Amino acid sequence: MKIKILGSGAGGGLPQWNCNCANCRSARNRSGDVLPRTQSSIAVSDNGVDWILVNASPDLLSQLRAHPDLQPARTLRDSGIAAVVLSDAQIDHVTGLLMLRERTTPLPLYACAPVLEDLSTGLPLVPLLGHYCGVQTHAIVPGKHFTISACEGLRFTPIAVDGKAPPYSPFRQSSIDGTNIALLIEDRIKGTRAFYAPGLAQMQDEIHATMCGADLVLVDGTFWTATEMIDLGISTKHADDMGHLAQCGEVGRRGMIDWLEALPRGTRKVLTHINNTNPILDPHSDEHAQLRARGIDVAHDGMVLQV
């Protein structure tokens, strides 16, 4: 399978429109080597023609312009995007659905029940798109694998993870199974596996065991430290408040890099959904060097991963 990182930034992207932190300034002015990043999304394919979009970023149109191969041009109106799978109902992962409204057939949309509920109530994109192309919803269930006919060589398994529903959601304070999922994507011919979780608040043994069986682990790279935004004085939010496990551990708690370190040798490890405050975005930072030393890559827009 082939995975394209369409957007490697967290909500707001890089530079974020109203932010003047060091990374945002550098990315805006191109004064260093901090690359601009669009908001979180990947596309996955088994044949290189038909693609499954996992999360639909508000930056979807610019992402598609940056990837002309997602437009196979088989007919006058066409798209390589065969379907969309959602990991949650966060703004950075769903608002790109609106950009697909010119479709000539209903959009196949795969998401868990609480996400479909949020998208029918608090942020009613599904009924709204009913006035345009229409949406063919498929309720997926944690633990139950599914396939999508356009990419039959891929098998998707949603895995419930700890995370946060969006601020507008009634599930925000008490997440239920399916508000946030990771996806295990398997190539049914090659037997290879990719584990994708752009939002992961807390590791659990079963989730880590699933990661151990994957060739590629592409996970939540939002924050370097849990108090990063508080320390910069730009927010009062702790990583836990937002549903993201920071890369560095705290007393009594392992960070994401500790969990990645414990994966089998040879596992490809990549951090994505990176917040603009995260020092790993600067390739010259000490934090980036620490990742390099541990064999962990930092995703960038346009990165292609062959699994």
DSSP symbol at 59 = T
For Mn ion, the binding residue among 50, 59, 92, 220 (CB under 5 A) is 92
Q: Please give the single-letter amino acid code of residue 159.
A: I
Ranges within 269-298 binding Zn ion (CB under 5 A): 276
Distances (CA, A) of 150 to 10, 98, 171, 292: 28, 21, 32, 37
63 binds Zn ion (CB under 5 A): no
19 binds, options Zn ion, Mn ion, ligand MLT, none, Cβ within 5 to 8 A by partner type: Zn ion
| Buried-exposed string 119-143: b where 16+ CB fall within 10 A, e elsewhere | beebbebbeebeeebebebeebebe
CB of 59 to Zn ion, least distance (A): 16
24 binds Zn ion (CB under 5 A): yes
Cα separation of 19 and 119, whole Å? 28
Judged by the rule CB under 6 A, the positions of this chain that interact with ligand MLT are 10-11, 90-92, 199, 242
Report the residue number, 242 or 263, with the smaller CB distance to ligand MLT. 242
Distances (CA, A) of 256 to 54, 226, 245: 22, 11, 6
Q: Decide: 1 and 46 in contact? Cβ < 8 Å.
A: yes
Q: Please give the single-letter amino acid code of residue 202.
A: Q
CB of 163 to Mn ion, least distance (A): 10
Specify the stretch interacting with Mn ion by CB under 5 A; choose among 88-96, 135-143, 150-158, 236-244.
Answer: 88-96
CB of 9 to Zn ion, least distance (A): 10
CB of 16 to Zn ion, least distance (A): 5
What are the counts of helices (DSSP H) followed by strands (DSSP E) for the chain? 10, 13
CB of 121 to Mn ion, least distance (A): 20
Report the residue number, 3 or 242, with the smaller CB distance to ligand MLT. 242
DSSP symbol at 173 = S
Nearest to 27 by CA among 235, 295, 230, 301: 301
For Zn ion, the binding residue among 19, 52, 116, 165 (CB under 5 A) is 19
Specify the stretch interacting with Zn ion by CB under 5 A; choose among 2-10, 20-28, 75-83, 290-298.
Answer: 20-28
Specify the stretch interacting with Mn ion by CB under 5 A; choose among 10-18, 45-53, 97-105, 263-271.
Answer: 10-18
11 binds Mn ion (CB under 5 A): yes
CB of 229 to Mn ion, least distance (A): 14
The answer for residues whose C-beta is within 8 angstroms of residue 9's C-beta and 6 or more apart is 37, 38, 39, 40, 273, 274, 275, 276, 301
Q: Decide: 92 and 58 in contact? Cβ < 8 Å.
A: yes
Report the residue number, 92 or 187, with the smaller CB distance to Zn ion. 92
Instruction: Give the footprint of Zn ion on this chain (CB under 5 A).
Output: 19, 21, 24, 276
Instruction: Give the footprint of Mn ion on this chain (CB under 5 A).
Output: 10-11, 90, 92
